[in-house]
Amino acid sequence: MSRQEVISLNEEAAKSLRLGICGLGTVGTGTLDLLRENADEIRYRLGAELEVTRIATRTLEGKKIDNIKHVSTNVFDVINDASIDVVIETIGGYDPALDVIRGALISGKHVVTANKALIAEHGNELFELARENNVALAFESSVAAGIPIIKALREGLAGNKISWLAGIINGTGNFILTEMESKQRQFEEVLKEAQELGYAEADPTFDIEGIDAAHKLSIMGSIAFGIPLQFDKTYTEGISSITPEDLNYANELGYKIKHLGIARRSKNGIEMRVHPTLLSKSRLLANVNGVGNAVLIHGNMVGATLYSGPGAGSAATASAVVADLIDLARHIQSGITSPVYPALGYFEMRNELTIIEIGEIEAEYYLRIPAVDRIGVMAQISGILQEHDVSIEAVIQKEAISETVPIIILTHIVTEKRLDQAIAEIESLADVAGKITRIRVEPFNGEAA
């Protein structure tokens, strides 16, 4: 049984919280700006001050650090300052962020972090460390920036048994798919533009291969089901193989293609997967475009609720960092000496729930088969599908404009490994000229919203 997280009472901090910021990049600067800009409103809300008394950042050049008492270039200075109540970790990445968080927790400081990679990959260790040291480790800003999705899942929907959640949780990927669809452009071309616009990194792997989304998904999945963080068991598939043609065929069938993170409680166990997905055009989630984020959560009582907004950016992320600070300040003011919410929402984790292999999931599928335009090829394909008990929901076969003509098939629900066997057989046909593109289709149990 997991023990409850304990938040220590800091008597001196009853009126005002002293903050140390580690890292003045996009999020750190945004947090500092927000605390200055909204100082009045925060004082009305909280009846106290959130005061940044120390900042440590790699370089001081060009940073707006006037009126900050203590400034240095050594991030560990913040941990060693005994007067600091809360360390705000906005360094990003693993090194030295991991050591900063460990050090802060061990020295009895609360930590607020926006670092999704660290929480997803080291959260189990870090939450335990926070518990042992009677301090809080808050991470609202690590998923979907300013959309308060952690609070919604952990607290607002706590009366539910969560059935599934599905989110557009990487703005870069969603921008690329939106541009590809609306302007009929190829993936590589749009990626290059996204890099020029600053939406995508020079090395875009984290975004386009779904690693960033998988970090966020594993955090949400843990809170949804009460299971430990298991980033390494999250299935990840990127968007680089999607073509404008796929987006068009999907559209013809009534769908949009989105890069989704999906966590689902299925009869065999927990599904955790990031991949391109066809979803009905009529859903709000399908109409979240550009760099926006959105998460659709289905609870057994409330049904489906959607949370949408900007999923990145300096001020939007700072909004969530400061929400965590205000939450923490309120709890400290209240004199709490034992936990309110455990980090992942569960008093006792549901360790019996295991994450299943991707081959075990059941879904509907979109197949684009590069067939040679010859009599009988459709009969061969449907014969193989039938042999493997894969039933067909819809087919698009256009007139050939070259020697090969794509056959588009939408299947009914089927176990993935069974479909994959059928695909392998179809690809080995003499009249099929290359790899089959296979995209999962999510009907989301026909639930609304």
Q: Which window, 18-26, 339-347, 385-393, 420-428, contacts a copy of itself (CB under 8 A)?
A: 339-347
CA angle 39, 51, 40 (to 5 degrees): 15
Interface characters, 166-205, with a copy of itself (x: CB under 8 A): ----------------------------------------
Contact between 16 and a copy of itself per CB under 8 A: no
Alpha carbons 217 and 238: distance in angstroms, whole number? 14
Least distance (Å) from a copy of itself to the CB of residue 285?
Answer: 9
CB 145 within 8 A of CB 313: yes
Task: Report the site for a copy of itself in 138-157 (rule: CB under 8 A).
Answer: 140, 145-148, 151-152, 155-157
CB 385 within 8 A of CB 411: yes
Residue 20 vs 299, nearer CB to a copy of itself: 299
Residue 303 vs 443, nearer CB to a copy of itself: 303
Q: Which window, 17-25, 73-81, 117-125, 317-325, contacts a copy of itself (CB under 8 A)?
A: 317-325
Q: Which of 170, 277, 319, 411 binds a copy of itself (CB under 8 A)?
A: 319
Least distance (Å) from a copy of itself to the CB of residue 437?
Answer: 29
Tell me 432's DSSP state.
Answer: B
Residue whose entry in the numeric block shows the structure tokens 């549901």: 350
**b/e sequence 212-233, b meaning 16+ C-beta within 10 Å:** bbbbbbbbbbbbbbbbebbbeb
- CB atoms under 10 Å from CB of 399, counted, come to 6
192 among known catalytic residues: no
Please choose, from the candidates 355, 332, 120, the residue with its C-alpha nearest in 3D space to the C-alpha of residue 218: 120
Q: Which of 77, 193, 201, 327 binds a copy of itself (CB under 8 A)?
A: 327
DSSP letters spanning 325-376 = HHHHHHHHHTT--S-SS-TTS-SS--TT--BPPGGG-EEEEEEEEEEES-TT
Contact between 318 and a copy of itself per CB under 8 A: yes
Residue 126 vs 147, nearer CB to a copy of itself: 147
Contact between 137 and a copy of itself per CB under 8 A: no
Q: Which of 339, 388, 392, 420 binds a copy of itself (CB under 8 A)?
A: 339
> CA quadruple 270, 271, 273, 279: dihedral positive or negative?
negative
Least distance (Å) from a copy of itself to the CB of residue 387?
Answer: 41
**Catalytic positions:** 216
